[in-house]
């Protein structure tokens, strides 16, 4: 039985990953997020454990891992996206994007590693974004944080290459989640476009002309967590319909 800890697990991609890994069996799921209520509903559905934690708080993260015990698989999914032109990107917004999207993943990775190293096996998957692989206008802080997350992934993968621990990133394009729904609503409010028009704008960046589904991301994560992916480490796998080709 492998213990899997998923941050940002209450909805969207995190919830899809939890359902996908539970389907394979042989896992004990620990669902983590800032709000306990949505986590608990999913935990009840999956027979999992729910833990409230702010991953940007180093002391809270350390307490979480002490309470949960050794983790075999870590999915760093917690994230947040806010937009602003460069000249209106405040210090607070800049710090918030780095704290949630980069520092939180670092803190969880650091806390999970001792037990993985002792066991000689582990899987770490960082949920990044195509924003880790290219730039987007008006989200400089978010892009910087996700680029940083990809750098962390590659550095950790090399450091841990001989330990039985793999570290990879998945990089979804625009994905049908609550986060995207909020972005669509923001576009509608600021531009007067209809929901259909706003959705089409987001889908246009994908050469397949569609939005990514959370379950597609979850399938890739499940593979990276498997024994069959033991030689895959330090990779940034773009799930974007061809928007990014490496």
Please give the structure tokens belonging to residue 172.
């979804």
- Report which of 177, 219, 160 is spatially closest to residue 17, judged by C-alpha positions: 219
Active-site hit among 136, 138, 142, 174:
142
CA-to-CA distance for 16 and 131, rounded, in angstroms? 21
pLDDT the model gives residue 3? 98
Question: How far is CA 135 from each of CA 75, 99, 139, 146, 210, rounded to the nearest angstrom?
Answer: 24, 19, 8, 10, 20
Digit-by-digit pLDDT tens for the chain (246 residues) are 999 999 999 999 999 999 999 999 999 999 999 999 889 999 999 999 999 999 999 999 999 999 999 999 999 999 999 989 999 999 999 999 999 999 999 999 999 999 999 999 999 999 999 999 999 999 999 999 999 999 999 999 999 999 999 999 999 999 988 878 777 887 788 888 888 888 888 888 899 999 999 999 999 999 999 999 999 999 999 999 999 997
pLDDT the model gives residue 178? 80
User: Is 142 a known active-site residue?
Assistant: yes
Could you please state the CATH topology (level 3) that the domain comprising 2-173+213-239 is classified under: Rossmann fold (3.40.50)
115 and 71 Cβ atoms separated by less than 8 Å: yes
pLDDT the model gives residue 201? 84
Q: Domain-by-domain residue ranges, the chain?
A: 2-173+213-239, 177-211
149 and 105 Cβ atoms separated by less than 8 Å: yes
pLDDT the model gives residue 200? 84
């Amino acid at each position: 039985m492998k213990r899997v800890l998923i941050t940002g697990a209450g909805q969207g991609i995190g919830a899809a990953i939890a359902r996908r890994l539970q389907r394979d069996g042989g896992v004990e799921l620990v669902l983590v997020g800032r709000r306990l209520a949505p986590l608990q509903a999913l935990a009840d559905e999956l027979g999992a454990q729910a833990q409230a934690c702010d991953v940007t708080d180093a002391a809270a993260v350390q307490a979480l891992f002490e309470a949960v015990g050794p983790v075999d698989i870590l999915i760093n999914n917690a994230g947040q996206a806010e937009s602003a032109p460069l000249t209106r990107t405040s210090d607070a917004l800049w710090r918030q994007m780095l704290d949630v999207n980069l520092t939180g993943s670092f803190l969880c990775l650091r806390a999970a590693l001792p037990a993985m190293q002792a066991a000689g096996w582990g899987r770490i998957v960082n949920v990044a974004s195509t924003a880790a692989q290219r730039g987007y206008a008006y989200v400089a802080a978010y892009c910087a944080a996700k680029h940083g997350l990809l750098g962390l992934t590659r550095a950790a993968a090399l450091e841990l290459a001989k330990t039985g621990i793999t570290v990879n990133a998945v990089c979804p394009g625009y994905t049908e989640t609550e986060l995207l729904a909020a972005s669509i609503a923001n576009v509608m409010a600021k531009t007067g476009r209809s929901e259909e028009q706003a959705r089409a704008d987001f889908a246009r960046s994908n050469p397949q002309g569609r939005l990514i589904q959370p379950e597609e991301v979850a399938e890739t994560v499940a593979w990276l967590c498997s024994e069959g992916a033991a030689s895959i480490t330090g990779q940034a796998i773009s799930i974007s319909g061809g928007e990014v080709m490496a």
